[in-house]
Structures are given as C-alpha cells and as structure tokens.
Amino acid sequence: MSTAPPHLSPARYHGAAILLHWLLAGLLVYQFALGLRLDTVSGAAKFTAFQLHKSIGITILILSLARLALRLTLRRPGEVGEGVQKLGARLVHWAFYGIMLLAPLSGWIIVSTAKIKVPTMLFGVIQWPHLPLPAAFNQPAVLAHTVLVWSLPALIALHVAAVVYHLRKRDEVPGRMFPGRIAGGVGVASGVVWLAVAAWLGFGGPIPDLWSRSSVPPTAQVASAEATTQRVAASAAPEPNETVPGAEVAVSCNWTVQPGSRLGFTAHYGSDPVSGTFRKWQARIRFCADDLPRASIAATVNLASAATGDADRDENLHGASFFDTARFAQAHFTASGFKLVGPGRYAVSGNLSLHGVVRPVRVVFTLVQRGAEAAAQGSASLSRLAFGVGSDEWAATDQIADAVAVQFTIRATRAK
C-alpha cells in the first residue's frame, strides 16, 4: 500500500489502473448527469432512466472495487510535493475512492429500503438483489447519496486544477495517467474532452430501453389472458342440455365457488407490472344463461389478504396510504343486469365499495359451462384514485399508474 522507494517506482501508472481511471471517470460523470435527469423524466421513461442509473451505478461499484484492489497491490509512481500539497493530493484521491464506493452503496440502500421495491435488472439481464435492511435506513441513505454525489464536481474541479498546476510546472505528473508516449498536455486535454462528452451524454443522450423485454404492460397481460379464454371458449364442446330429459325438478341457478378460483390485480409501477392476488374472498353467484334478468353476484374481498410476493410492499399496500385495512377491512362488489355481448361472453356493471367510496365498475367475462360445472374468466379496469387508494406521494401517477387491472378465474359448481 505504501509508495515504493524512488528507484523502484514506475514512471507511470499500470495500464490496468490507467484504463480503469478513465473508464470510471467517464462513468461517474455520466452517472452524475443521468442522476440529475431522473427528476425531469416521467412515466415509462422514468422507469427506464432509473433502471439505467441503477445498472451504471452498480457497474461503478464493481469496477471501483477492482480499482481499489489494484491500488492496494500494484506498484505506482512516487508521490510528489511536500507538506500541504502532498496531503491535499492524498485527501482528494482517497475522497474519490470513498465516493466511488459509498455513492453506489447508498443508492443501493435507497432502492432496497424504498416503500415500493422495484426490482433492479442490471442492463435488463441480471436481477440484482435488494439489501436486507429496515425502512429506517431509507432517509439517511437519501441524504448520504445527495451529499456524496454533490461532492463529486467539487473534487473533480480540485483534481483537474492540480493537474493543470503540474502541467504549468512542466513536471512528470500529468503524463503518469496516460499510456505510452502521450504527452501530458495532450492527455489532459483529451481527458477533459472525454468528461465533457460523458456529461453531455448523461444530460441529453439516448436512454436505451433494455428493459421492455422483461416488463409486459398489464393491459397486454389482460388482453392475452382474454385471448386465451376466447380460445378455450371457442374450442369447448357445445354446452350440454342443462335439464335432464324428463326430470321434473327445477335446476338451481345458484353456484358455489370452488377452490382453485383466483382473484388478482395488476398495478403499473413505471412500465413494470406489479401483480398480486387476494387470498381471502367469497362470492354469492346466481346465474342462469336463460334468465339473465334475475342473475346477480355479491362478492366480499378481505383487503388485508392482498399479497404481491413481497412482505414490505404488502405491508405498505395494507397501510394507511393505500387500502387502509385498519379502517376499511373489506371491499364489496354487487352486480345484476348481466348482458350477453358475444358467444359465451357477458358484461355487467356493478357497484364496487372500496376504501369508503362506492363507484360503478364494469366487468367483462367469458363463461364455459358444462352441466353442473362452470368456469368464468374475466377482468375489469378501475381507477385507484377514484377510490382514494394512494395518498400523499402516491396520489401522483408518475410512479404508480392510476389504472389497475383486476382479473379473476372462477370455478363453480351448481348448488343442489
């Protein structure tokens, strides 16, 4: 770790150290500019910009660890100057290492402890884990990230000023961070241009969408689920006669929901779909295809049973900002007045009572019925804000879209 005695010191930094110096300098400046841009984009572009910021940031973390390992193991040119000058150079260089490691680390903590955890897909390919830390780390990490990243321009200014000072003194320092026989002046000028290009790309360059492959918009999911249902309905055998020939007994129009039925929802975080299911719900269904005016449904959903596969996110979903299950434990949906809108396809407008608000919601579904068994698959789209679901910072739609898709698959048997 210490500098080698003068007669053993190399004249310039090792090629790998030089390569990493310039690669990291460009990435850091690009990342800083991209970070400032995060606030200026919205909708799906915001999601993509954040994924890019996280991908580049984690790359910086990994490359900086490699650079630190080289710094601690390879021989390097001797230190120059005396006293304050020498101390200043040391401080600036170690502060750079601190930022290169702690800025990405604090960013990683922010996303790991956010209320809604959006998965990090490095360049759309590798899923990067979240750190297992409590939510209390979030605010300090945001503060640390801001302070660390804003120290970067100040350090770069000091660092470049020192290099220019050595350039004017015509000593060997400026040339040590460039390969081969590149003269210090040419190298320093190229370095400044390189950083300017990186800043320009970060502020205004394209944000490649490497993430669209991994995120299917919920509307597309609903559409494809409906398309599947249509195919099932089309290939199903014709519905057998519902009444047993010669039987006197009237066939019941009441249905009992069977295990395996599912009630799910898909919200939209940026362009990232977040899906979940309600584990506890029940429905009273009265339906006979030849007596639609008397058909009805009454469903009750236990909102605290909503599960999205992430315990922290679920806690937040049940909490005061969203469902507020302490005050509104259940949602109710009642509907009658079913209409046949296509072969085996029905629509009904009902009333949904959710979060203390009652609003009409239209449901469309496909029904396949075989004797005493029926399978229905359908969906509805509703505005979460119309029900007041999402308060404070979640009342804006730039992070979580207003439209939420509800999907269900019901298997039922005819009550005796």
Q: Please, what is the minimum distance in Å from the beta carbon of residue 217 to ligand HEM?
A: 23
- Residues whose CB is less than 8 angstroms from the CB of residue 177 and which lie 6 or more positions away in sequence, other chains included: 12, 13, 18, 21, 22, 187, 191
Q: Please, what is the minimum distance in Å from the beta carbon of residue 204 to ligand HEM?
A: 15
Q: Please, what is the minimum distance in Å from the beta carbon of residue 33 to ligand HEM?
A: 8
- CA proximity to 319, closest of 330, 307, 304, 301: 304
Question: For residues 107 and 273, which CB has a smaller minimum distance to ligand HEM in the complex?
Answer: 107
Question: For residues 99 and 412, which CB has a smaller minimum distance to ligand HEM in the complex?
Answer: 99
Tokens at 27, concatenated = 């990435």
Element (H, E) at 151: helix 138-169
Positions touching ligand HEM (CB under 6 A) are: 21, 24-25, 28-29, 31-32, 35-36, 38, 53-54, 57-58, 60, 71, 77, 89, 93, 96-97, 103-104, 107-108, 110-111, 142, 145-146, 149, 152, 156, 159-160, 163, 173-174, 176-177, 188, 191-192, 195
Measured over all CA atoms, what is the biggest interatomic distance in the chain, rounded to whole angstroms? 111
Question: For residues 67 and 384, which CB has a smaller minimum distance to ligand HEM in the complex?
Answer: 67
| Torsion on CA atoms 88, 90, 96, 97, rounded to nearest 10 | -160
Element (H, E) at 240: none
Question: For residues 66 and 358, which CB has a smaller minimum distance to ligand HEM in the complex?
Answer: 66
- CA proximity to 190, closest of 31, 22, 60: 22
Q: Please, what is the minimum distance in Å from the beta carbon of residue 67 to ligand HEM?
A: 7
Question: For residues 179 and 356, which CB has a smaller minimum distance to ligand HEM in the complex?
Answer: 179
Q: Please, what is the minimum distance in Å from the beta carbon of residue 224 to ligand HEM?
A: 32
Q: Please, what is the minimum distance in Å from the beta carbon of residue 369 to ligand HEM?
A: 50
Question: For residues 103 and 375, which CB has a smaller minimum distance to ligand HEM in the complex?
Answer: 103
Q: Please, what is the minimum distance in Å from the beta carbon of residue 388 to ligand HEM?
A: 25
CB-CB contact of 295 with 253 (8 Å): yes
Q: Please, what is the minimum distance in Å from the beta carbon of residue 89 to ligand HEM?
A: 6
Element (H, E) at 384: none
Q: Please, what is the minimum distance in Å from the beta carbon of residue 181 to ligand HEM?
A: 15
Rounded to whole angstroms, the Cα distance separating 228 from 246 reads 37
Question: For residues 158 and 372, which CB has a smaller minimum distance to ligand HEM in the complex?
Answer: 158
Please say whether the dihedral angle defined by the alpha carbons of residues 55, 57, 61 and 63, taken in this order, is positive or negative. positive
Rounded to whole angstroms, the Cα distance separating 379 from 226 reads 8
Half-sphere exposure of 363 (CA within 13 A, CB side): 26
Question: For residues 107 and 344, which CB has a smaller minimum distance to ligand HEM in the complex?
Answer: 107
Question: For residues 121 and 303, which CB has a smaller minimum distance to ligand HEM in the complex?
Answer: 121
